[in-house]
């Protein structure tokens, strides 16, 4: 049965150009979207840009530009990056679009109608860099300046403001976390959110009067909406809200919002509360991944170590980068980016293990079988070890990806690649041509079967290279999804001459 799936990335602030951290979340979301499509699900994958608020307004002012012209320019960098990263997003949303402003107004009006909003006065600490309010007990002080836990300086804000009755939803949220244990992942983030909510929720200031760059509050144009209320709404705007008869509304609630750990509070506390208060369903899951540092240091403009994903793609190729990002660090943990680690993964796992396996197998079929795929053969005792690894491989990888364990899923697939390398060495099909050509053909066919399986399952991670491998394996374009694996390729299929899939990198140069 076709099921719907909806995956999102955060919408990125357009105060600056994209870096490798943004690429990370986007590639992870792309892998999920592609994996689900391979299963035959109907998928909606959304990414985009967050363009309102004080932080973006300030960045525009610093650039000497009008905010709309500025956001048009920076948003385009993020849109271009979707191409550079090979993302298969179905939509790209900008919060300055009229469809989004209409959705924000509709959500506000719904909340107001349900008496979830009241007018008051905000007085407290605000970090423009995080676009977040903080309680006094969360701050630390250095040289007379107060800082939020994220390291962002805070300033004292006092202005009239509308409030959302967040405190009222405290018990409902705690209940929700308890009954839907899968709602926040990983476990460490879930615990962090639960303890924050348990410590007591204050009503949330959701409008500002001290600047103009935002969605005006309906009927109160001197107020603009708090940028996080505006930003979070993007996930339903793109699904058609407020038109719940829209074609895309079937995708709501989202299957998973992928976010960095910095913004889990907004997604796992405010967002379900806003939605519930407006009579809408909360998303099914929020997964907060960890933070990349660069050669041991925080990535920052002032340190000059911000990594441009476009340059990385140019240097190492897109698929090795996608593979590295999801293989190197357990999704959910922090990790360190180093060129050496990338080069090691590329050389060892992609070029040596997978690339060589494909090249050896396909070259032997070219040379010894006139480039024609040998017939399927019975599985002899010597083949059983390898074939046992294929039993329930898809289900295992599927389960790992449902938990967003990308690194484990890759490890599961590469266990098969490593076993196939041992198998080819042990069976030595090159030595069988004269002694036992029937067995040689069987071994090559078995290796082809394994390679087809591996290439099919790796498509979400490395779409271009795995498509090239499937071309070399003679798999028709319409037989590359998971279901198609049930139908073996006919014996005698002509295979094109193989060519290398990955280019090795000199470690010194890395």
Looking at the Cβ atoms of 12 and 162, the one nearer to ligand ME8 is: 12
Name which position in 164, 177, 183, 292 contacts ligand ME8 (CB under 6 A).
Answer: 292
438 neighbors 79 (Cβ within 8 angstroms): no
- Asked whether the bond before 353 is cis by omega within 30 degrees of 0, the reply is no
The pair of structure tokens assigned to 44 is: 């909606």
Burial 189-220 (b: 16+ CB within 10 A, else e): bbebbbeebeeebebbbbbbeeeebbbbbeee
Name which position in 34, 45, 48, 50 contacts ligand ME8 (CB under 6 A).
Answer: 50
Looking at the Cβ atoms of 50 and 110, the one nearer to ligand ME8 is: 50
Cα–Cα distances (Å) from 396 to 27, 249, 486, in that order, read 21, 30, 17
Q: Does 24 bind ligand ME8 (CB under 6 A)?
A: yes
The DSSP bridge partners found for residue 287 are 185, 258
Name the one range near ligand ME8 by CB under 6 A: 11-19, 38-46, 362-370, 440-448: 11-19
Q: Does 127 bind ligand ME8 (CB under 6 A)?
A: no
Name the one range near ligand ME8 by CB under 6 A: 10-18, 244-252, 425-433, 448-456: 10-18
Strand segments, DSSP code E, in 348-390 are none
Q: How far apart are CA 288 and CA 366, in angstroms?
A: 47
Tokens 């198609």 belong to 484
Q: Does 11 bind ligand ME8 (CB under 6 A)?
A: yes
Name the one range near ligand ME8 by CB under 6 A: 6-14, 216-224, 338-346, 466-474: 6-14
Q: Does 263 bind ligand ME8 (CB under 6 A)?
A: yes
- Between 309-316 and 67-84, two packed helices, what is the crossing angle to 10 degrees? 20
Min separation Cβ 7 and ligand ME8, Å: 13
Name which position in 5, 22, 452, 453 contacts ligand ME8 (CB under 6 A).
Answer: 22
Name which position in 56, 148, 184, 231 contacts ligand ME8 (CB under 6 A).
Answer: 231
Looking at the Cβ atoms of 227 and 462, the one nearer to ligand ME8 is: 227
The secondary structure of 70-84 as a DSSP string is: HHHHHHHHHHHHHHH
Residues 294-333 that bind ligand ME8 (CB under 6 A): 299
Min separation Cβ 225 and ligand ME8, Å: 13
Q: Does 260 bind ligand ME8 (CB under 6 A)?
A: yes
Q: How far apart are CA 502 and CA 504, in angstroms?
A: 6
Name which position in 87, 93, 185, 259 contacts ligand ME8 (CB under 6 A).
Answer: 259
Q: Alpha carbon 55 to chain centroid distance? A: 24
Min separation Cβ 18 and ligand ME8, Å: 8
Q: How far apart are CA 84 and CA 78, in angstroms?
A: 10
7 neighbors 33 (Cβ within 8 angstroms): yes
Looking at the Cβ atoms of 231 and 443, the one nearer to ligand ME8 is: 231
Name which position in 225, 232, 397, 440 contacts ligand ME8 (CB under 6 A).
Answer: 232
Q: Does 70 bind ligand ME8 (CB under 6 A)?
A: no
Site string for ligand ME8, 200-219 (x = CB under 6 A): --------------------
Number of residues that bind ligand ME8 (CB under 6 A): 19
Query: CB within 8 A of 40, min separation 6: which ones?
Result: 2, 481, 482, 483
> Other CB atoms closer than 10 Å to residue 314's CB: what's the count?
11
Looking at the Cβ atoms of 25 and 96, the one nearer to ligand ME8 is: 25
Closest-by-Cβ residue to ligand ME8 is: 21
Q: How far apart are CA 448 and CA 85, in angstroms?
A: 29
Looking at the Cβ atoms of 13 and 36, the one nearer to ligand ME8 is: 13
Tokens 């071309």 belong to 471
Min separation Cβ 231 and ligand ME8, Å: 4
**Would you tell me which residues interact with ligand ME8 (CB under 6 A)?**
10-13, 21-22, 24-25, 50, 231-232, 234, 259-260, 262-263, 291-292, 299
């Amino acid at each position: 049965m076709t099921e719907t799936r909806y995956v999102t990335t955060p919408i990125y602030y357009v105060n600056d150009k994209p870096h490798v951290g943004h690429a990370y979340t986007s590639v992870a979301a792309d892998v999920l979207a592609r994996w689900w499509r391979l299963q035959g699900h109907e998928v909606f994958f959304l990414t985009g840009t967050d363009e309102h608020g004080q932080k973006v307004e300030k960045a525009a002012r610093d650039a000497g530009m009008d905010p709309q012209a500025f956001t048009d320019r920076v948003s385009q960098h993020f849109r271009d990056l979707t191409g550079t990263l090979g993302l298969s997003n179905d939509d790209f949303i900008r919060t300055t679009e009229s469809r989004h402003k209409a959705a924000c107004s509709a959500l506000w009006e719904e909340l107001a109608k349900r008496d979830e909003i009241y007018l008051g006065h905000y007085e407290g600490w605000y970090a423009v860099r995080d676009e977040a309010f903080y309680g006094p007990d969360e701050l630390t002080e250095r040289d007379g300046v107060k800082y939020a836990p994220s390291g962002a300086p805070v300033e004292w804000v006092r202005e009239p403001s509308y409030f959302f009755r967040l405190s009222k939803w405290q018990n409902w949220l705690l209940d929700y976390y308890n009954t839907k244990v899968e709602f926040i992942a990983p476990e460490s983030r879930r615990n962090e959110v639960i303890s924050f909510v348990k410590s007591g929720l204050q009503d949330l200031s959701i409008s500002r009067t001290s600047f103009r760059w935002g969605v005006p509050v309906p009927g109160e144009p001197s107020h603009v909406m708090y940028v996080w209320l505006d930003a979070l709404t993007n996930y339903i705007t793109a699904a058609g809200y407020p038109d719940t008869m829209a074609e895309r509304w079937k995708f709501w609630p989202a299957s998973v919002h992928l976010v960095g750990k910095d913004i889990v509070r907004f997604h796992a506390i405010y967002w379900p509360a806003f939605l519930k208060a407006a009579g809408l369903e909360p998303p099914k899951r929020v997964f907060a991944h960890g933070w990349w540092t660069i050669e041991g240091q925080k990535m920052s403009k002032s340190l000059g170590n911000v990594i441009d994903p476009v340059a990385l793609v140019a240097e190492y190729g897109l698929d090795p980068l996608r593979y590295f990002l999801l293989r190197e660090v357990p999704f959910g943990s922090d990790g360190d980016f180093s060129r050496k680690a990338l080069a090691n993964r590329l050389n060892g796992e992609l070029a040596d293990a997978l690339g060589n396996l494909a090249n050896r197998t396909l070259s032997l079929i070219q040379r010894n079988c006139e480039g024609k795929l040998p017939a399927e053969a019975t599985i002899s005792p010597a083949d059983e070890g390898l074939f046992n690894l294929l039993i329930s491989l898809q289900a295992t990888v599927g389960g790992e990806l449902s938990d967003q364990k990308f690194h484990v899923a890759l490890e599961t697939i590469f266990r098969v690649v490593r076993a196939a390398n041992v198998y080819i060495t042990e069976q030595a099909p090159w030595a069988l041509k004269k002694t036992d050509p029937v067995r040689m053909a069987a071994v090559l066919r078995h290796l082809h079967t394994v390679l087809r399986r591996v290439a099919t399952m790796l498509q979400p991670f490395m779409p271009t290279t795995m498509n090239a491998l499937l071309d070399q394996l003679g798999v028709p374009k319409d037989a590359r999804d998971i279901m198609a694996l049930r139908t073996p390729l006919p014996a005698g299929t002509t295979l094109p001459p193989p060519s290398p899939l990955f280019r090795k990198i000199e470690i010194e140069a890395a």
